[in-house]
Homo-oligomer: A and B are copies of this chain.
Amino acid sequence: MRKANAAADARSATPSLARREREKAETRRLILGTARALFTRGGYHNTTMRRIADRIGYTATAIYHHFADKESLMLELCAGDFRELGRALTSIGRVADPIERIRQMGRAYVRFALEHPEQFRFMFLIERPMPGPEEVHRLDPGEDGYQFLLGSVREAMAQGRFRPEFRDPDVVAQSLWAAVHGIATIHVNTPEVGHKWLDLRDPLETADVCCDALMQGLLQAP
Q: Could you tell me which A residues sit within 8 Å of B by CB distance?
A: 40-43, 45-46, 121, 124-125, 127, 130-133, 146, 150, 163, 165-166, 168, 170-172, 174-175, 177-183, 185-186, 189-190, 192-193, 196-201, 205-206, 209-210, 212-218, 221
With both beta carbons as reference points, the residue of chain B lying nearest to A193 in the complex is identified as: B130
Is the pair A171, B206 in contact by a Cβ cutoff of 8 Å?
yes
The prevalent SS among residues of A at the interface is helix
How far, in whole Å, are A217 and B212 apart by their CA atoms in the complex? 8
Which B residue's beta carbon lies closest to that of A190?
B130
Which B residues touch A197, using CB under 8 A?
132-133, 146
Total copies of this chain within the assembly: 2
Residues in B with CB closer than 8 Å to A180 are 178, 182
Contacts of A198 in B (CB 8 A): 146, 150, 170
**Residue contact B179 to A199, C-beta cutoff 8 Å:** no
10 of the cross-chain contacts (CB-CB < 8 Å) are A124-B189, A124-B190, A125-B125, A166-B209, A174-B206, A175-B210, A175-B213, A180-B182, A216-B217, A217-B217
